[in-house]
Amino acid sequence: MRHFDHRDGELHAEDVPLSRIAAEVGTPVYVYSSATLERHYRVFADSFGGLDTLVAYSVKANSNIAVLQTLARLGAGADVVSGGELARALIAGIPGERIVFSGVGKTRDEMSAALEADIHVFNVESLPELRVLDDVAQSMGRRAPVAFRVNPDVSAGGHEKISTGKKENKFGIAWDRAESAYAEAACLPGIEVVGVDVHIGSQIDDLAPFEAAIRKVRGLIERLRTQGHDIRLFDIGGGLGIHYGDDNRMPPPPSDYGQLVRRLTADLGVQMVFEPGRMIAGNSGVLLTEVLYVKGGGDREFLIVDAAMNDLLRPALYDAWHAVEPVRLPEPDQASATYDIVGPICESGDTFAKDRMMPAVRAGDLVVFHSAGAYGAAQSSQYNTRPLVPEVMVRGGQYRLIRKRPSVEEMLERERLVDWSN
């Protein structure tokens, strides 16, 4: 359920009209519904009743500290992939014991910070990383809890750039080398082997790849135990998709996913760790933007909005589809039009949609890009010296600014002119 609906002819976020946010904060602006965030977390977490679980929200999906705080209050953990994300999670109130550190390129400083925070587990992705982690842990007089991320060579994900479980992807330990990696880890004094990790992709709309991966990892866990390893954690990653409103089939609900996981792992005697990101945050947010111009272009019309690819990169990066609609409901006799929806960036790739049919709009009208709560603001940049887009969170009839829009002066004050005369 999404808490964005029309009232009196205007789209609201919960009880707040989006036109009010546009008038008071400006556009473009991300708007998040706290009720949607909370509901999606609860629906996901409740799907695994009867299992020992840790739901470690994937911070990279939406890393705003207010979003993390909202989830922390519900008991969420965090899956982080950098020292910066670790700091965000801790500031937001997620304790180290509920934090999982993933990623292929952890630095010594990041490892040290994670050990100081007493995180739950490191998901290690290579033997060189393992050896560095062992060295860092020994230098601190600690043992690092470790799960190897293994690559099961299971293909999943809606786009080649978000498939992570195939043997040609950069992630994880090759399947045929996993057992030897665990044997080496068991000999390192700074390492404590605790589990197995797998992540096969993102925006997955079918349970079959999950079942294939779980069955393979279950067999690996059983073999590792016979080899003397105390495997008590199984991190299955994230990847369950959401519906963006396009023609792709509807992903399975969390309840079906939970039933699958319980059926395959209930007797395994492990803590199940999940890393949902998009599933929690995706449909909790919209990008609100204003129409600047409607431009005729020969055989097509361009709808030029004040949001751009630096604000929402997914269409340019992944050919991603987002539903677009006006904030004001069209009149019953209002005509429709077909647009290429584009932004002001000086790139042909700054295109949100092509040949998109929607109610006709004019300059000054407000429109929203739906399902923009994940990988929207988190991937935004200041390309073309455009200020980072602000973020707003709504609760009932109130809203709060949770990331301000910097001025150009604030953006430039971090840079320096140089004087080579001396």
Catalytic residue set: 346
**Radius of gyration of the chain measured on its C-alpha atoms:** 23
Per the CB < 8 A criterion, the answer to whether 284 and 68 are in contact is no
| Best CA proximity match to 377, nearest among 37, 60, 73, 34 | 60
- Tell me how far apart the alpha carbons of residues 28 and 308 are, in angstroms, rounded to a whole number: 9
| Best CA proximity match to 90, nearest among 61, 48, 120, 128 | 120
- Tell me how far apart the alpha carbons of residues 147 and 182 are, in angstroms, rounded to a whole number: 9
Q: Please tell me whether the peptide bond between 189 and the residue prior to it is cis, using omega within 30 degrees of 0.
A: no
> Residue 117: CB partners within 8 Å, gap ≥ 6?
86, 90, 96, 99
> Which residues are bridge partners to 234 per DSSP?
196, 272
- Tell me how far apart the alpha carbons of residues 42 and 76 are, in angstroms, rounded to a whole number: 10
Name residue 77's amino acid. Answer: G
Strands 285-296 and 366-369, sheet pairing: antiparallel
Q: For the chain, what is the largest distance between any 2 Cα atoms, rounded to a whole number of angstroms?
A: 74
- Tell me how far apart the alpha carbons of residues 197 and 115 are, in angstroms, rounded to a whole number: 19
Phi–psi pair at 31, nearest 5 degrees? -125, 125
Strands 271-274 and 53-58, sheet pairing: parallel
DSSP 3-state of 234:
strand
- Tell me how far apart the alpha carbons of residues 160 and 145 are, in angstroms, rounded to a whole number: 31
**Residue 18: C-alpha distances to residues 37, 134, 190, 298 (Å):** 18, 51, 53, 33
| Best CA proximity match to 229, nearest among 182, 172, 181 | 182
Per the CB < 8 A criterion, the answer to whether 158 and 205 are in contact is yes
